[in-house]
A and B are shown apart, each in its own frame.
Chain A
Amino acid sequence: MKKHGFIAVVTAVGLFFAGVVHSGELNLYNWGNYTSPDLIKKFETMYNVKVTITDYDSNTTALAKVKAGGHGFDIVVPSANYVKVFLEEDLALEVRPDQMENFKHVAPEWRNPSFDPGRHYSVPWLWGTIGIAVDTDVYKGDINTSSIVFDPPEELAGKINMAPEMGDVMGMALKYIGSEPCTTDKVALKKARDLLMAAKSKWVSMDYGLTEKMPRGDFSAALYWNGAVYRAGLAKSSIKFGYPREGYEIWMDNALVLKDAKKRRDR
Chain B
Amino acid sequence: MISLTRKRPPFSLKTQPGFGLITGVCFVMLYAPIITLVVYSFNAGKYISMWEGFSLQWYVAAWGNEAVQDAAIRSLFLAVQASVYSTILATMAALGTTRTRPFRGLTAIYAMINQPLMVPEIVTAVALLILFAMIKSWTGIQGIFYLVIAHTAFCIPFAYLPIRARLEGMDLILETAAADLYATPWKTFWRITLPLLWPGIIAGAMLGFVISLDDVVITEFVKSSGQETLPTYMLGQLRRVVTPEINAISTMLLGLSILVVCLLFFIERKFGK
Find out whether the CB atom of B133 lies under 8 angstroms from the CB atom of A216. no
Q: How many angstroms from the CA of A151 to the CA of B107 in the assembled complex? A: 59
B236 touches A211 (CB 8 A): no
Q: A32-B239, A57-B239, A212-B242 are in contact. Are A70 and B132 (CB under 8 A)?
A: yes
Residues in chain A near residue B263, CB distance under 8 A = none
Known: A71-B225, A72-B226. A208 touches B239 (CB 8 A): yes
User: Is the beta-carbon distance between A70 and B137 smaller than 8 angstroms?
Assistant: yes
Q: Nearest chain A CB to B69's CB is how many angstroms away?
A: 13
Question: In the complex, what distance in Å separates the CA atom of A46 from the CA atom of B13?
Answer: 77
* Complex contacts, B225 vs chain A, CB 8 Å: 27, 29, 52, 54, 71-73
How many chain A residues sit at the interface, stated as a range, is 20 to 34
Interface size on B, residues (CB 8 A): 22
Q: Which chain B residues border A215 with CB–CB below 8 Å?
A: 47
Whether a CB of chain B sits under 8 angstroms from the CB of A180 is no
Contact B240 A52 (CB under 8 A): no
Given contacts A54-B225, A72-B224, A72-B226, contact A32 B136 (CB under 8 A): no
Docked complex Cα distance between A251 and B49 (Å): 34
Residues of chain B within 8 A of A141, CB atoms compared: none
In the bound assembly, the distance between CA atoms of A65 and B220 in angstroms comes to 12
B132 surroundings in chain A (CB, below 8 A): 70
Q: Does B55 contact A (CB under 8 A)?
A: no
Indicate which residue in A70, A72, A212, A235 contacts B133 across the interface (CB closer than 8 Å): A70
Q: How many A-B residue pairs have CB under 8 A?
A: 63
Given contacts A55-B236, A70-B133, A70-B142, contact A212 B224 (CB under 8 A): no
- Closest Cβ of chain B to A193, distance in Å, is 27
Inter-chain contact A211/B240, CB cutoff 8 Å = yes
CA–CA, A1 to B165, complex, Å? 64
Output the nearest chain A residue to B225 by Cβ-Cβ distance. A72
**A33 close to B137 (CB less than 8 A):** no
Per-residue interface assignment for chain A, residues 26 to 43, with 1 indicating a CB less than 8 Å from any chain B CB and 0 otherwise: 010100110000000000
- List, in ascending order, chain A residues with CB within 8 A of B227's CB: 54
**Residue B140 is within 8 A (CB to CB) of chain A in the complex:** yes
A199-242 interface mask toward B, CB cutoff 8 Å, 1 = contact, 0 = none?
00000000111011001100000000000000100010000000
The 7 closest A-B pairs by CB, nearest first: A70-B136, A72-B225, A69-B137, A52-B226, A68-B133, A212-B242, A208-B239
A-B contact pairs, 19 of them (CB 8 A): A33-B241, A52-B225, A54-B225, A54-B228, A68-B133, A70-B136, A70-B224, A72-B142, A207-B239, A208-B240, A209-B238, A209-B240, A209-B242, A212-B242, A215-B47, A216-B49, A231-B241, A235-B47, A263-B140
Question: Which B residues fall within an 8 A CB radius of A?
Answer: 47, 49, 67, 129, 132-133, 135-137, 140, 142, 224-228, 236, 238-242
